[in-house]
Each structure stands twice: as structure tokens, then as C-alpha cells.
Amino acid sequence: MASEYIRLRGIGVSPGIALGSVRLAERVVFTSRKEIIPPEEIDKEIDRLRRSFQETKRDIAEIKNQVRDKLGKEHAFIFEAHLLILEDNSLRNEIENLIRKEQVRAEWAISRIHDHYMKVFETLEDEYFRQRRFDLSDVLSKVYRHLQPYAREAKEDDTEKILVAHELLPSEAAIKLGKGNILGVALDMGGQTSHTAILARSLNIPAVVGLRDITKKVKDGDVIIVDGTDGEVIINPPLAIRKEFISKKKKYDDYLRELRKTSKLASETLDGVRFFPLANIELPEEVSLALSLGAEGIGLFRSEFIYLRRTTIPSEEDHYQVYSQIAKKAFPFPVYIRTIDIGGEKNIPQLNIEREPNPALGLRAIRFSLKNRSIFRTQLRAVLKASIQKNVRLLIPMVTEMEEIEEVKWLLNEVKTELTREGVPFDPNLPLGVMIEVPAAATLVDEMIKEVDYVSIGTNDLIQYYLAVDRSNELVAYLYKPLHPSLLRLLKWIITSVQEAEKEVTVCGEMAADPLCALVLLGFGLRHFSMNPIFIPRIKKVLRSVEREYIKEMVEEALKLRTAQEIEEFLLERILVKYPQAFLMREITEGNRL
Ligand code: PEP
Ligand code: MG
């Protein structure tokens, strides 16, 4: 009785498994018909467009309140961003100019402007930045819909369904997923850092995106399985497969329940050594999720993401709003705001950054900030202003030499003097730290630490530079080994040097989120582990399952080995024997990947 079924591979962006029937979301289809209008109708057309903008603004403000009441303030933030896009007259002016210049219907003008911006955003290399085109698309779709009130969306039913769509505009995601009747999400488009992905993760809705053409393969009412853990979708699965997934779902749900329990437990190893799980975030919306998963602070806020929510250069007030929002939500836990890490491959259209032949080694991060002083000063002013909250800390990315620290401190003092003169309050003792990502900074950390309050090791970049392996090049991915003995020696040196100076050291690269690596770091004496929030319960559980003293000795022995593989095998074996409970969940996790 084998029925026709289809398996599709995509990107799992929110783990878990959902089984249910499909609801296909409608989408706005922009017109491809260039309708010319007589000159005397132009003013009327522009009025029509302005009315649409007004109505859209009113709608968004209303939705913002609804979402805030239902899902919380952090999810309503996206609508603030949309209101800002709508209030920025340059977008409307562009459309109006097109209507006048080409004497066309507003629909066509919007469609052209929409296409233009989608193409511009599409050329961006950074996935997250590229994703931001959906905000603009979202706003323009709404304005477009208001031009055609008869084409408004049909009323939706409230039964539990799996939402399948080409792509979900950010506001649609908040409204649709926030209703509480969406079991899972499957999209043609999208990536890890899209709003839908972030929202689905925080609402615990399994989601797979990047499925290319699932909307063409299903119809309303089809039964599908969304496996967000493995990034797979199965359309009309036969009974045997359904059963298999129901049992996988149960296993995953139990595992999650078990893990979540750890968020309430003390962050302490079996022999009472305190550690601090911290979160790496990119959006203020992620703070609540991070705290609910057990984060005891925001170890890394990648502030460059502020640029993505707007098409213009963010003002001091824009920066300030974001920082103070995060600081308030996370209070009394610390929030480490990293100054922008852009330049090179992380290009942003509003900054007109030149393409470089070797972007990873180019004008990025602090190098960019020191060359673009006014942008940097704006950011420093905003961080200082937000520092009255007293839990704000500053973090400088990709430092290479002492002079950069001196320069930052000098600038910081200048900005402080300026603020004092203006009578603006700030924390004069705002703590300052640097990220250790460049090998030269790593070996000089014993000197650098004298000049700063703490360091944070960005292993993602440190590995790429130390092992000379491009972190995003699949061809050399086999060489990207966090357990490479040379790297471990270096990490041990950094951690020990900082601790000898009695200062704080964090690891905020992906290494901190890997159970085995986290244990090695604990062995070196690390206490602060910063990672993507969803990994916190897992790491917390691993660290709680071991004695730090034993791990320390074990790691010392491991350091005598010569290859990453030998080290990994040695560590796994030792831990399996001594702490089988620490690995129970590892086995389950691997089971999930089967
Ligand atoms: C790192 O390099 O480890 C890091 C945390 O920074 P990013 O991943 O943003 O480069
Ligand atoms: Mg980095």
C-alpha cells in the first residue's frame, strides 16, 4: 500500500518534529503590467498611494499592539522597524517620482521599486543582511495590498496546521506563528537568521526553510512531516514513516523537556565550580529566549546587525534604543556590546564599503571603526548613554596590536568628556574588553589584559587565522579543527594568562557550544561560555555532569597527544567511562541526526 510520498531537504532552522496538514499561505503577487495613466490622473494616483501608506501605518501600529500583547514586546519590535521604513519619506518619494516620471499606476511603481531593492539586497554576501530585504518587501507588500482592498486575504481558520509558504514576511511570521495554532513551518525561501527562523525557535515551532519549491509540491490539506532538527520535510508519508517520526518526536520532546529543566538549576560542576552560561545574540528579541534557556547574561551582542533593520545609517538614537532595550531586558545580568564587525565581506549598502581582494585580512571590525571615526564615535556615545543601566560592557572585535587599544581608550575618553560637557549621564567606569581573534593578539594577551577589564576569545575567527583555514570555505572545512593541539595550547595560554592577571575571560565562538570542546575549556579553567542561546541547556547539562578537577587532569593528558583525532578519541573514551550521564544526551542528539 505504498503511497506516493516526497522527501525534501532544506535547512532546519528550528528543531523539533511536527506532523499535520498543510495550510498554504497566500502571497502578494506584484503586478508585471505597466499601466500608463493620463497626466491629469497623476495627482489622484499619488493621493491613492499616500492613503495606502497612511492605512498601512495605521494597520502596522495596530498589529504592533496586538503582537505585543500576545507575544511580548520583543516580538513587536519588528513593527517598529516597519513603521520606521514607512516614515522614512525617501521610500515613498521614490515611488511618487516614478509615478510622475513614467506616468504609471502606483502598483507598477511599487513593483519596480520592490524589484530594484530586492536585487540590491540579493547581491549582499552576508546571509543575515540579505534576509533584511524581507522587511522592506513586507512593508511594500502591505502598501500594495492597501491599493487593492478587494484582494485582501481570505479569512483564516483556527485549526492546527503546518504553515507552508514561499516566504514569510516578518510581520506575517509574527502574526501567523503567534496565533498558537501553527504546528510547524516549511518555506521555499529563507535562511538561519531570518525573522521566521528566530521567531520559530523562540516559540518552539519546528521549521525547515530553503526548500525551494515546496509550495508547488503540496496543496491545502496534504499531510506533511516537518523535521526541523534534520532539515527534512516529508509530503504524504506512509504509515510506517509517520510512526517512525512520531516516535522520533516523542524522543526529541522528552529530551527537550529534560534539557529545559537544567535552565533552572545551578550553573555549577559536580565539585562546586561555578560557571556562567551566556548568550550570543543578534537581535534584542532574542534576550527573553536566552534568559529562559538559562543564560546569565548576553556575552556577545553583534551590534552590526543594527544596520540591517534600516536602509540608512543608524543614528545615535537608533543605537541607543537597541542597547538600552537589551540592557533593560537582561538586567541585572551583564550585556557585552561588541562594536561593529563590518567591512570586508560583511558589506552594507548604506556604507559603500569597497570590495577588497582578501576581505578576511582587510579593513574589518576595529580596523574599520578606527578608519571611520564618526561612525565609531556615534556608537561609543550610544553605548555610553546606555551604560547608566550599569550592566553594559564594551567589547572591541579583532584587535591585533596594543596601539588599537590605546586608540580606542583615547577616543572613549574624548567621547566621555564630550558627554560630560553636554550634561549627558553615563557610567564613567564602563568596562572595556577586547576580543582575541587574531593570533598576534593571542600571544600578546598577557600584555593586552593589563590595559583592559576582560577578554573574549572569538574562536570562530581565531581558528580561521591560526590554522589558516577560511571559516566559510567548504573545500578546507576538513582542516577546521577546534581540537587541533596547537590551538588547544594557544587557548590554554590565553585563559591562563588572563586568569593570572585576575581578570575575566570568555569564549564566545562556536567552540563554547560544543559539549566536548566546552569540557576542554573548563579543564583550562574557563568559567564564561557564550553561545547561541539554543545550545545553553545542553552545555549547562554537560558542565554540571563533571568534576572540574578530573577534567583538568584529563585535559592536561590530552595535551600530550599530537592530533585532533587522537585528542577527541581520548577525551570521549575517558568521559564515557567516568561520566556516562554527560554523554547520554550526546547519544540522543546523535540519534536525532540519524
Ligand atoms: C568569533 O569570531 O568567534 C566570534 C564570536 O565573532 P563572529 O562569529 O561574529 O566573527
Ligand atoms: Mg569574529
359 belongs to a structural domain:
yes
461 CA to centre of ligand 1 in angstroms: 6
Q: What is the pLDDT of residue 590?
A: 44
Q: What is the pLDDT of residue 306?
A: 84
Cell 583525532 belongs to 565
- Residue at which a domain ends, from 146, 176, 211: 146
Q: Which atom of ligand 1 is nearest to the CA of 437?
A: 2
166 is catalytic: no
Grid cell, residue 234, equals 516529508
* CATH code: domain of residue 202: 3.50.30.10
Per-residue pLDDT of 64-75, as tens digits, reads 887 777 777 766
Grid cell, residue 362, equals 582587510
39 CA to centre of ligand 1 in angstroms: 55
State whether 391 and 499 are in the same domain: yes
Per-residue pLDDT of 456-496, as tens digits, reads 999 999 999 999 998 877 788 889 999 999 999 999 999 99
State whether 174 and 306 are in the same domain: no
13 belongs to a structural domain:
yes
508 CA to centre of ligand 1 in angstroms: 7
Q: What is the pLDDT of residue 203?
A: 78
State whether 10 and 140 are in the same domain: no
* CATH code: domain of residue 421: 3.20.20.60
546 belongs to a structural domain:
no
Q: What is the pLDDT of residue 29?
A: 74
Q: Which of 75, 82, 146, 195 is catalytic?
A: 195
Q: Which atom of ligand 1 is nearest to the CA of 280?
A: 5
356 belongs to a structural domain:
yes
HSE-CB of 76 using CA atoms within 13 angstroms = 15
397 CA to centre of ligand 2 in angstroms: 7
Those residues of the chain that have pLDDT short of 50 are 1-2, 153-154, 585-594
412 CA to centre of ligand 2 in angstroms: 22
What's the CA gap between 298 and 284, in Å, rounded? Answer: 10
State whether 98 and 70 are in the same domain: yes
State whether 141 and 160 are in the same domain: no
581 belongs to a structural domain:
no
Q: DSSP assignment, residue 553?
A: H
- Residue at which a domain ends, from 235, 258, 281: 258
Q: Which ligand has its closest atom nearest to the C-alpha of 456? A: 1
Question: Taking the model in full, what pTM does it have?
Answer: 0.72
Q: What is the pLDDT of residue 556?
A: 98
446 CA to centre of ligand 1 in angstroms: 21
Grid cell, residue 585, equals 544526551
Check pocket membership of 437 for ligand 1, CB cut-off 6 A: yes
Residues 6 or more apart whose Cβ sits within 8 Å of residue 145: 28, 151, 152, 153
Q: Which ligand has its closest atom nearest to the C-alpha of 280? A: 1
* CATH code: domain of residue 130: 1.10.274.10
Per-residue pLDDT of 285-311, as tens digits, reads 789 889 989 999 999 999 988 876 566
Q: Which ligand has its closest atom nearest to the C-alpha of 472? A: 1
Per-residue pLDDT of 36-67, as tens digits, reads 999 999 999 999 999 999 988 888 888 788 77
Per-residue pLDDT of 528-570, as tens digits, reads 999 988 889 989 999 999 999 999 999 999 999 999 999 999 9
Check pocket membership of 461 for ligand 1, CB cut-off 6 A: yes
Question: Nearest Cα to 500, choosing from 552, 446, 556, 444?
Answer: 446
Q: Which atom of ligand 1 is nearest to the CA of 341?
A: 9
State whether 415 and 316 are in the same domain: yes
Pocket test for ligand 1, best of 126, 128, 302 (most atoms within 8 A of CB): 302
Check pocket membership of 458 for ligand 1, CB cut-off 6 A: yes
The protein residue whose alpha carbon is closest to atom 4 in ligand 1 is 458
217 CA to centre of ligand 2 in angstroms: 40
Q: What is the pLDDT of residue 252?
A: 85
29 belongs to a structural domain:
no
State whether 435 and 339 are in the same domain: yes
- Residue at which a domain ends, from 533, 565, 587: 533
460 CA to centre of ligand 2 in angstroms: 6
What's the CA gap between 206 and 197, in Å, rounded? Answer: 9
Q: What is the pLDDT of residue 369?
A: 96
351 belongs to a structural domain:
yes
Q: Which of 319, 508, 517, 528 is catalytic?
A: 508
448 belongs to a structural domain:
yes
State whether 61 and 160 are in the same domain: no
E strands, 305-431, where?
A: 335-338, 392-396
Q: Which atom of ligand 1 is nearest to the CA of 457?
A: 3
Q: Which atom of ligand 1 is nearest to the CA of 511?
A: 3
State whether 215 and 280 are in the same domain: no
Pocket test for ligand 1, best of 127, 435, 514 (most atoms within 8 A of CB): 435
Q: What is the pLDDT of residue 585?
A: 47
Domain that holds residue 254: 6-23+156-258
- Using only C-alpha atoms, the chain has a radius of gyration, in whole angstroms, of 25
517 is catalytic: no
Q: Which ligand has its closest atom nearest to the C-alpha of 482? A: 1
What's the CA gap between 97 and 402, in Å, rounded? Answer: 51
State whether 224 and 286 are in the same domain: no
Check pocket membership of 395 for ligand 1, CB cut-off 6 A: no
Domain count, the chain: 3
**Number of alpha helices (DSSP H) and beta strands (DSSP E) in the chain:** 24, 16
State whether 332 and 247 are in the same domain: no
What's the CA gap between 444 and 457, in Å, rounded? Answer: 13
Check pocket membership of 459 for ligand 1, CB cut-off 6 A: yes
State whether 358 and 393 are in the same domain: yes
The protein residue whose alpha carbon is closest to atom 1 in ligand 1 is 458
Q: Which ligand has its closest atom nearest to the C-alpha of 398? A: 2
